[in-house]
């Protein structure tokens, strides 16, 4: 067990993701072997909404071990992936070599990225399980804007903040079959601390460090982008998500053959479980 009394939240989270990467490298959740065989691991929503990326430079923030980054490269983008886990970056580089995909990966905390990267990109992309690791959403918005070329595009697909007020299956101790609010919807700078637990991708694999995470409301996210000078092109909400974001979620089969989405059973009213935002920076890429 790691002594966490003198470790910053960011460093603790990085240690957890280093451990998680080792688990994900040998598991099946991310479809690594299928990807090596040519399968695309992107989901239908982001592919359709972001559109044609051929010949465009793309910066992927919080890329984990880069399987989505490399998927965008296969679709024609010139990609750069960023993550704070050295294990994640090492695996991303290894996967790029094994698949002969041209990609660049940089180890960096997102807030420290300006110390390591100065160029701008046609597209800044991030997705799925990223915002909860960020303590300062306003600073995140400024980072996004800083890396966009004039007229560039930002895109995010992520679990809906509203979905995060509800418990996961393991949080329900009384056998209840009702979905009740459980967590704070609004941002608390102190965040939440979760003790060591099984990895989300492999319940048989135990992580030896806990994690810190933070909630950000929908308005927090939208306003962080607006305040950074971006123009919101659209925000969409969906009654499904690529993972079981709340208790009781089950596979939504009609969305096949896309990688699986999960939604609530029909006994519940449709609720927003995922959102996407597309935004643009001022000016024109041809200016």
Name residue, tokens 């919807």. Answer: 185
The reported pLDDT for the residue numbered 1 is 45
Question: In 3D, which of 121, 128, 187 has the Cα closest to residue 156?
Answer: 128
pLDDT tens digit sequence for 231-259: 999 999 999 999 999 989 999 866 555 67
Pick the CATH number of 9-280 from 3.40.50.150, 3.40.50.720, 3.10.180.10, 3.30.450.80: 3.40.50.150
Q: Which residue ranges make up each domain of the chain?
A: 9-280
Q: Give the integer Cα–Cα distance in Å for 91 and 73.
A: 16
Q: How many CB atoms lie within 10 A of CB 71?
A: 21
Residue 283 is inside which H or E element, if any? none
| pLDDT tens across the length of the chain (287 residues) | 444 557 899 999 999 999 999 988 887 778 888 899 998 889 999 999 999 999 999 999 999 999 999 999 999 999 999 999 999 999 999 999 999 999 999 999 999 999 999 999 999 999 999 999 999 999 999 999 999 999 999 999 999 999 999 988 767 766 677 888 989 999 999 999 999 988 887 888 889 999 999 999 999 999 999 999 999 999 999 999 999 999 899 998 665 556 789 999 999 999 999 999 999 998 875 44
């Amino acid at each position: 067990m790691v002594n966490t009394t003198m470790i910053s939240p960011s460093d603790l989270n990085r240690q957890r993701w280093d451990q998680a990467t080792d688990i994900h490298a040998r598991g099946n959740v991310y479809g690594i072997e299928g990807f090596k065989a040519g399968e695309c691991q992107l989901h239908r929503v982001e592919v359709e909404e972001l559109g044609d990326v051929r010949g465009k430079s793309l910066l992927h923030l919080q890329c984990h071990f880069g399987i989505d980054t490399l998927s965008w490269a296969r679709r024609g983008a010139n990609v750069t992936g960023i993550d704070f886990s050295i294990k994640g970056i090492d695996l991303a580089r290894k996967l790029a070599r094994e698949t002969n995909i041209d990609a660049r990966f940089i180890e960096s905390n997102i807030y420290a990225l300006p110390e390591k990267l100065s160029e701008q990109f046609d597209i800044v992309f991030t997705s799925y399980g990223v915002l909860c690791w960020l303590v300062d959403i306003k600073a995140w918005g400024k980072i996004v804007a800083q890396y966009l070329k004039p007229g560039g595009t930002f895109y995010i697909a992520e679990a809906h903040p509203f979905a995060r007020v509800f418990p996961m299956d393991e949080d329900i101790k009384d056998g209840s079959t009702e979905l009740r609010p459980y967590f704070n919807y609004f941002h608390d700078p102190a965040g939440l601390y979760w003790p060591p637990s099984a990895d989300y991708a492999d319940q048989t694999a135990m992580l030896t460090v806990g994690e810190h995470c933070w909630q950000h409301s929908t308005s927090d996210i939208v306003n962080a982008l607006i305040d950074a000078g971006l123009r919101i092109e659209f925000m969409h909400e969906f009654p499904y998500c690529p993972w079981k974001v709340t208790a009781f979620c089950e596979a939504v089969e009609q969305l096949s053959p896309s990688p699986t989405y999960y939604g609530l059973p029909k006994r519940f009213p449709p609720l927003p479980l995922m959102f996407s935002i597309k935004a643009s920076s001022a000016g024109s890429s041809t200016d």
